[in-house]
Each structure stands twice: as C-alpha cells, then as structure tokens.
Structure 1
Amino acid sequence: MAQDALSKLLASRDWLMADGATGTNLFNMGLTAGEPPEFWNVDHPDRIRSLYRSAVEAGSDIFLTNTFGGNASRLKLHGAQGRVRELNRIGASLGREIADAAGRAVVVAGSVGPTGDIFEPMGTLTHAAAVEMFHEQAEGLKEGGADVLWIETISAPEEYRAAAEAAKLAGMPWCGTMSFDTAGRTMMGVTSAGMVEMVNAMPYAPIAFGANCGVGSSDLMRTVMGFVAAGATIPLIAKGNAGIPKYHDGHIHYDGTPELMAEYAVLARDAGVRIIGGCCGTMPEHLKAMHAALESRPRGDVPALEDIQAKLGAFSSASDGTGGSGPAPRERRGRRG
C-alpha cells in the first residue's frame, strides 16, 4: 500500500504543526450554543473554508475537519442521524479543497469525537454499535477525501478501540488522542501509562497518538511526559488548550496568551512530541506564535516537570494519575472547543 500523506510528512520532518480550536473559532463566527457545528458544512460552507484556511495560513501542516460530533448518536439529538455520511463527506471535501490549494503538503484529518454514550455494563452502548457508528462516519470522511481519521477527546478505552476497529474497516490510517482531565486521568480512569499499554497492544496501530483538551497546557505536558516515561515508540501528539476557561462579559474566554502557547509548543517539541497543536481557545494568533517559536528556537533538553510548571503554570492536581488510585470514572458528554 502506498504511504499515506501523514506518514510521508512525519518521515520528512522533525515536528508537524496541527491546528487550533474548532468550536471557539466557530462561536466567534456566530455559532450559537446548542447548534450543531456540523450543519455549517452544508449551511455555511464559506465559514468552514475560512476556518480551515486560517489554520493553513498560520502554518499548520494538519487541520481537523468540522465533524467532531458527526456520529449518529450525537446527530440524533438534532434529528439528523440520517445525515452522517453527508455531513462528514462535505466537511472533509471542503478541507480537501483548502489543502489542495495550499501550495504545500497539508494533511486533512477527519475529526471523530466521542459518541457521548456510555459502554456496557455502566451504560447501554455495545462494542458492535459503537464500531458501526464510527464506521459510518469514517466512510463519509473517506468519501470526502480526508487523508487520515483523527479520533479525539476519547475517555473510555472501549470507545478508543471501537473507533480503531472502524478505521480498519474503512481502510483508513488513523491517529487517536484521549483527554486527561481528572487528576491526570481520563474521565473513565485511563492514565498516560495505561494509554501507552493499550496502544502498544492494538492490532491496527495508529500512526500517532497522544492527548488533547484536558485542563491546560501544563497538565497536558505532564501527561505527555508520562507517555515518554512509559516508553512510547509511536509518534506523539499534543493538542493542549490555550490556558484555562474563564467567564468574562458573558463569554467563555481562555486565558492562554500566544506567548504561553509558543512556550508550550517548544516544550512539547523538546519532549519529543512530533505533532503539536492547540485545542479549546486556540486561535490563529496562537498558532502563528507557536509556528514562529518552533521554527526559530533551537531544540533544547527534554524538559523536567519543574520547567513545565515554571513556564506554563502550576499543575491542577498533585498527581499525574499514574501512582495509586485515581478518581472514580464519570460520564463525559462535552464537546471539544
């Protein structure tokens, strides 16, 4: 099989820059709370092109499609479970259009978020139903021209494995990140070391794996250091939030400055991360600062946890979750920002 676009880029470069937030940028364009962003692929394609183009212009080598909630379970909340293929296909095809016009190699990553459902025995979701949902979404993204599936913000290992199986059924290469937001663990209790163990045992391995979203860039970097300590051999992904959300004048504002995100990007690169981007709150100005820092600042030593705290701020919990017992699993239904 011919080498996929992302593997080709990884083979030619030390680091790649991914994109920033989808939700935060779309809310700035007028998306309202409760409105499914995926509808905009059809209703406001120019705004979605603009979202993708802004990442490319800021220097991103990879951008994610506006399809995070594009599975049947999420779309059913809006009576749109019959539109999965259409919304994903169009979300990816708009991306293909922008990437092909970029004048350089840019990877279109088909965003696949969680179903929002809980697996048996705690919930009702079966493995077969999850695979079917993810497979339907994957086929839509493939039809639209996505280069790779980008499974993200996953909390449950069962869901991660189901999405990987769907990627295999669709014949698509994939990457996958989990969100570590509860004292260094995912909401379903996975640690950084646990994720490395899971990924190493997968029959259909990802091209790259890592962490996204979570609490803030310092916590995310501590999780990344956990991957490194656990002996991760597959390329790592870091997509941290731009600081911590604060309510300000009726809006959620992330307090991370472009300068802070530039520090985070350099620390991630020095830790050995190969794909570096931002999540909630990360705007084009953050991406530009990250890209400039990655291009201009020489590679340094692998950072210590003290360096991370000094540059990015204190960790939100004393433990990274890998030692002793962690918090009890709880349900997560949030969207990626």
Structure 2
Amino acid sequence: MSNAFTDLLAEKGTLLADGATGTNLFNMGLMSGDAPELWNTDEPAKITKLYRFAVDSGSDLFLTNSFGANAARLKLHDAQNRVHELSRVSAELAREVADTAERKVIVAGSVGPTGEIMEPVGTLSHSLAVEMFHETADGLKAGGADIGWLETISAPEEYRAAAEGFQLAGLPWCGTMSFDTAGRTMMGLTSEGMVDLVHGLDNMPLAYGANCGTGASDLLRTVLGFAAKNGTLPIISKGNAGIPKYVEGHIHYDGTPELMARYAVMARNAGASIIGGCCGTLPEHLVAMREALDSTEKGPAPTLEQIREEIGDFSSESDGTDGQGPTRAPRRGRRRG
C-alpha cells in the first residue's frame, strides 16, 4: 500500500524521526502532572514550536502531541469527552507545520497506551480498548495525520486492540513497544515475540520497533533481535538520550549529541530504517543524528561488545530471548561522548 510514509521511506532509505515530546514541553513550562494534550488548545503556539523543533533539526517525520489522548487518561483531567477534539487539533497544528516545510515531512499521530490493564489480568475489555484507540485514531485522521504511531506499549493484547482501532479509522499506522524489563516489555514480550506478533496481525503496521526503555544500548540490542528474525517490515528505533539522572529535583538524561549520533549510525547498521530519539532527546541531539546519518555510509551490524564500548553498558545480561529471568548486568566502565 502506497502512502506518504512508505513513499518517503522508499525514496530516502532511512528516515530520521523526532525526539522527546515531554522533555521539550517541560522545558517550555509544562508542569508535572499536567496533561500535555490540553496544550493543543490552551497553548497552540508552544505545540507548534515543539513541532518546528523537529522539522528545523532535520526530522523526516514527527509525532503529534496526542500520546495520552484517550478516554482513560484524559478522565484524570475531566477531559474524557475531548479525546476526538484534542487528537484532531494536535494533527491540525502538525499538518500546518509539515505543509509549510521546505521538504516532505510526515505527520505521525502519536497514540500511547490506555494506562489500563487489559483482561484477563486487568479489567479493560478488548472491545472497549478497540473503541478507545478508534476514537483517538479517528481524531488524528480528521486532523490530517499521514499515519498513526502507536508507542510505548507493553502488552500484546493492547497492541492488537490498537491495530483494530486504526483499521476502523482507516488510518495506516506504525507501532513500537517499550522493552524495559531485562530485554522484555513489562508484560514479558521479547523482541522475537514482537516480530511474531506484528506479522500475525490482520492489520499489520507499516513499520514496527522499539521506543523508550532503559537506554540506547538496550534498545540497540532489541533492534538486533528484531533483525535476526528476518521479518518483512521496516524497523523503528527510538531510544532515550542516555540514562535518566535525578538532579536538583529534576530528571536529566546524560546522553550527549555525540552519543546520540553514534547511536543513530549503530541503529541503522543494526537494521533500523526509521531512527529517532525518545525521552531526553532535544533538538541538538537530532541535529547531530541527522549529520551522522547523512555523512556516514551504512556498515555491518554492530556486535554487543561494540555497542557496549560505543554507547554504554546494558542494563541486564539477557535480552530476554534466552528464557532467563531478569538479572542485572555487572557494572563496567562507560565511555560517553
């Protein structure tokens, strides 16, 4: 199926995605506990500025400010009846930025987890989850998003429900999961398991991969796990800018632009063709990543030892595919840019 996303990926071979939403909005004054999605109508100039950060830094696609725009999350702010509106406006603002850019830029409608646990472990039914994802996706489509972008998912059941929601809305999509528990998602899925999951869906994503997690090293190891399965879909890599540190009452990520540039090149070598940053990734990181991707030829896949030396230690010895339970990695020296 041809669309703006697949056409641009075919043209360029590798796409640079955007960086952090939360980190950049906190830097603009968003307070902890506030719903970023309310800024779509309350502070539209700041959301437009967020989008321009990505475009001006060289991103080929950027995500809308709609990660938590679902009924379950917005209910915490008495805004559960504004899901469609806030999703639509997030995409409308993004569409204006993309359409006035000097090059082709893709608007990806961000869709995060519901925040609820699905049956049988939790109480959220499959049908209700599909309805929630459909509502968000429909708003994003109405606002002009080129694709939907599912991210930070932990449960296979929720990923499947989202796939159905996008299908009902008629919105092509990509989808990432977060592997933050010794190489697995919080609900126990491995990189191998995700490849099987996405290729078994009736409504497959245009691309799949990993975002967030614990650090760029772990994410690169997960990308290698995806590539080893030899799936048919493009792979997404959206790693955090280093490791979070609590400094003077605030969370800071220790990844430098130089480190993220090395990460971007390694991600492409590992098998990813859509590469961006997640938490802590600022415009200066994206600029360095753009320059590195443009000035470096694709090379062989990195070894685990090369990742450890270039990017830093893994948070666990296992990537989850060996059947071992969570164990912490022994401490080793780190080399950072």
Name the TM-score, length of structure 2 as normaliser.
0.96
CA contact (8 A) 2:318 2:324 kept: no
**Residues 48-76 of structure 1: per-residue CA shift (max 9 Å, x gap):** 00000010000000000000000000000
Letter of the aligned partner of 1:88 in structure 2? S
Residue 101 of structure 2 is matched in structure 1 by 102
CA contact (8 A) 2:224 2:271 kept: no
Q: Aligned pair 1:91/2:96, yes or no?
A: no
| Matched residues, number | 327
Letter of the aligned partner of 1:47 in structure 2? K
Cα RMSD of the aligned pairs, angstroms, is 1.0
Distance in 2, Cα, partners of 1:99 & 1:196? 31
Distance in 1, Cα, partners of 2:104 & 2:54? 13
SS of residue matched to 1:108: strand
Distance in 2, Cα, partners of 1:299 & 1:84? 41
Distance in 2, Cα, partners of 1:259 & 1:62? 21
Residue 335 of structure 1 is matched in structure 2 by none
SS of residue matched to 1:181: strand
Distance in 2, Cα, partners of 1:38 & 1:198? 30
Distance in 2, Cα, partners of 1:20 & 1:180? 18
**Residues 219-249 of structure 1: per-residue CA shift (max 9 Å, x gap):** 0000000001122220000000000100112
Distance in 2, Cα, partners of 1:121 & 1:303? 40
Letter of the aligned partner of 2:19 in structure 1? G
Q: Aligned pair 1:178/2:211, yes or no?
A: no
Letter of the aligned partner of 1:169 in structure 2? L
Residue 279 of structure 2 is matched in structure 1 by 280
SS of residue matched to 2:185: coil
Residue 300 of structure 2 is matched in structure 1 by 301
Q: Aligned pair 1:270/2:274, yes or no?
A: no
Residue 76 of structure 1 is matched in structure 2 by 75
- Higher RCO (CA < 8 A, seq sep 6+): 1
Q: Aligned pair 1:51/2:69, yes or no?
A: no
**Residues 298-327 of structure 1: per-residue CA shift (max 9 Å, x gap):** 221111111111100010000000111445
1:1-337 matches, cutoff 5 A = 3-327=2-326
SS of residue matched to 2:87: helix
Letter of the aligned partner of 1:324 in structure 2? G
Letter of the aligned partner of 1:4 in structure 2? N
Distance in 2, Cα, partners of 1:40 & 1:215? 28
Task: Give how far 1:101 is off.
Answer: 0.4
The runs of 5 or more residues in structure 2 that have no matched partner are 327-337
Aligned-residue sequence identity (percent) comes to 67
CA contact (8 A) 2:137 2:166 kept: yes
Distance in 2, Cα, partners of 1:283 & 1:205? 31
Distance in 2, Cα, partners of 1:144 & 1:44? 17
CA contact (8 A) 1:242 1:279 kept: yes
Deviates more, 1:293-302 or 1:68-77: 293-302
Task: Give how far 1:103 is off.
Answer: 1.5
SS of residue matched to 1:135: helix
SS of residue matched to 2:74: helix
Distance in 2, Cα, partners of 1:159 & 1:120? 10
CA contact (8 A) 1:189 1:326 kept: no
Task: Give how far 1:133 is off.
Answer: 0.3
The runs of 5 or more residues in structure 1 that have no matched partner are 328-337
Distance in 2, Cα, partners of 1:160 & 1:326? 23
Name the TM-score, length of structure 1 as normaliser.
0.96
Distance in 2, Cα, partners of 1:140 & 1:87? 8
